C-alpha cells in the first residue's frame, strides 16, 4: 500500500498496543514502524531497475525481518524513553506488530509480498489497489481524532478499535467484490466462447468498484473491465498481442528470464529499431483503450559495452492526470 496508508495502519497498531501507557508516543512510533519495510525502495539508488524491483517487498517485508528487527528497534526506542512506563518487551511488541502489519496489508495488493522469505514466493491476493481512499481516509480521520483525547480516556480505545474494524471490514468486502467480479469475467468468457488458459483479476486504480481482468490465451492476451455499476455483465475484451517471438534474438540472456519471472509470465513485447519494450501486464494500462500505454514498461537495449540492460520507462504524469476523469466515468458504469 502507499506510504500514507501504512503510516495510518502503523499508528493505529501502535496506539492499540501501548496507547494507554504512553499516549501519542505510541502513535508516533507505530507510524514509524509502519514505514520501515518500504525503505527497500532506496535500493534503486544503488542497483539497476530490474534488481531493485526484484528486491522490493522481499526481505524487508518478511516475517523473518520482523522477528529480527523488532527486538533491536524496541531496545533502541526504550533507550530513548527510559523513564516511560513501557519496558523493552512492550516496545518490541509494538515494533513487531507495526512492522508485520505492513507486509500483511501489502499481500492483498497486486505486487505481492515475500512474507516467507527466503522462500521465493510472493503472497498476492490482488483485491485492493495500492492507493484506495475508501480504506485510508476514514481510518486516517479516526486516528487523528484519537490523538486529541487523553491516553486514559476510554474514547481513545473506542476510536482506535473502530478504525481497525472499519478498515479490516472494508478489506474483507474487497475480497467479496473480487470473487463476484471474477465470476462475471469467467461467465462472459464462456458466453463469448473464448478459450483461455488463465484468468486473473485486480481492482482498478483508487477504487474497488471497477475491476480489470487479464486473460491468457494461446496467441494473445485479453484485457477486460467491469464496474459493479455496469448495466450489463457482457464484458468486452481488448486484444493485446504477445509478440514473444520478438525476444528470440536475446532470449538466452539471463536478463530476459529475470524479467519473465518478475512479471509472473504476464508480458507483451514491442520492438522499435534496436530497442525492445517489455510490458508488464500485471498492473494494467494507463487507460481503457487498446493503444493505452502500460503502467510498467522496461526498455531493453545494448549499452556501449555490448551488455543487455533494462531500464524502467518513465511514466508521463500528464497521462495520469488525464486518466482520472476517464476513470471516474468508467467507475460509474456503462
pLDDT digit string (tens) for 209-244? 999 999 999 989 999 999 999 999 999 999 999 999
Tell me which residue of 109, 266, 278 sits closest to 199, measured CA to CA: 266
Q: How far apart are CA 318 and CA 68, in angstroms?
A: 42
CA distances from 64 to 27, 30, 43, 99, 117 (A): 24, 19, 19, 11, 7
Q: Are 332 and 227 in contact (CB under 8 A)?
A: yes
**Whole-number pLDDT of residue 11:** 98
Instruction: Return the DSSP state at 332.
Output: T
* CA 78 – CA 72 distance, rounded (Å): 10
Q: For 31-82, write each residue's pLDDT tens digit.
A: 999 999 999 999 999 999 999 999 999 999 999 999 999 999 999 999 999 9
Provide mean pLDDT across the span 120-145: 97
What value does the mean pLDDT take over residues 86-90? Answer: 97
- The pLDDT assigned to 45 comes to 93
Question: Residue 239: what pLDDT?
Answer: 96
Helix (H, G, I), strand (E, B) or coil at 212: strand
- The mean of the pLDDT values for the chain is 95
Short-list 295, 288, 330, 301, CA closest to 316: 295
pLDDT, position 324: 87
Q: Is 227 helix (H, G, I), strand (E, B) or coil?
A: strand
Does the pLDDT of residue 319 top 90, yes or no? no
Q: Angle at the Cα of 223 (from 215 to 320), degrees rounded to 5?
A: 140
Amino acid at each position: 500500500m502507499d506510504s500514507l496508508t501504512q503510516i495510518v495502519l502503523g499508528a493505529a497498531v501502535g496506539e492499540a498496543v501501548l496507547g494507554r501507557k504512553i499516549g501519542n508516543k505510541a502513535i508516533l512510533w507505530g507510524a514509524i514502524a509502519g514505514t520501515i519495510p518500504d525503505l527497500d525502495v532506496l535500493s534503486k539508488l544503488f542497483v539497476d531497475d530490474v534488481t531493485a524491483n526484484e528486491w522490493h517487498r522481499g526481505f524487508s517485508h518478511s516475517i523473518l525481518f520482523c522477528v529480527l528487527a523488532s527486538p533491536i528497534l524496541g531496545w533502541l526506542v526504550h533507550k530513548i524513553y527510559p523513564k516511560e512506563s513501557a519496558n523493552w518487551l512492550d516496545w518490541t511488541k509494538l515494533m513487531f506488530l507495526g512492522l508485520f502489519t505492513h507486509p500483511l496489508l501489502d499481500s492483498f495488493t497486486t505486487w505481492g509480498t515475500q512474507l516467507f522469505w527466503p522462500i521465493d514466493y510472493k503472497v498476492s491476493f490482488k483485491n485492493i489497489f495500492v492507493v484506495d481512499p475508501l480504506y485510508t481516509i476514514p481510518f486516517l480521520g479516526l486516528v487523528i481524532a484519537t490523538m486529541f483525547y487523553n491516553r486514559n480516556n476510554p474514547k481513545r480505545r473506542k476510536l482506535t478499535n473502530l478504525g481497525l474494524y472499519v478498515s479490516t471490514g472494508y478489506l474483507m468486502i474487497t475480497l467479496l467484490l473480487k470473487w463476484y467480479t471474477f465470476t462475471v469475467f469467467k461467465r462472459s468468457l464462456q458466453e463469448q466462447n473464448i478459450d483461455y488458459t488463465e484468468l486473473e483479476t485486480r481492482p482498478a486504480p483508487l477504487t474497488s468498484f471497477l475491476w480489470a481482468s487479464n486473460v491468457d490465451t494461446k496467441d494473445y492476451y485479453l484485457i477486460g473491465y467491469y464496474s459493479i455499476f455496469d448495466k450489463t455483465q457482457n464484458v468486452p475484451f481488448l486484444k493485446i498481442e504477445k509478440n514473444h517471438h520478438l525476444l528470440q534474438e536475446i532470449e538466452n540472456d539471463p536478463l530476459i528470464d529475470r524479467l519473465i519471472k518478475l512479471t509472473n509470465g504476464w508480458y507483451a513485447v514491442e520492438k522499435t529499431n534496436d530497442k525492445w519494450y517489455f510490458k508488464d501486464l500485471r498492473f494494467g494500462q494507463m487507460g481503457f483503450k487498446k493503444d493505452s500505454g502500460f503502467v510498467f514498461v522496461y526498455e531493453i537495449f545494448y549499452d556501449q559495452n555490448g551488455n543487455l540492460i533494462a531500464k524502467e520507462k518513465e511514466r508521463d504524469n500528464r497521462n495520469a492526470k488525464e486518466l482520472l476523469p476517464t476513470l471516474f466515468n468508467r467507475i460509474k458504469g456503462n
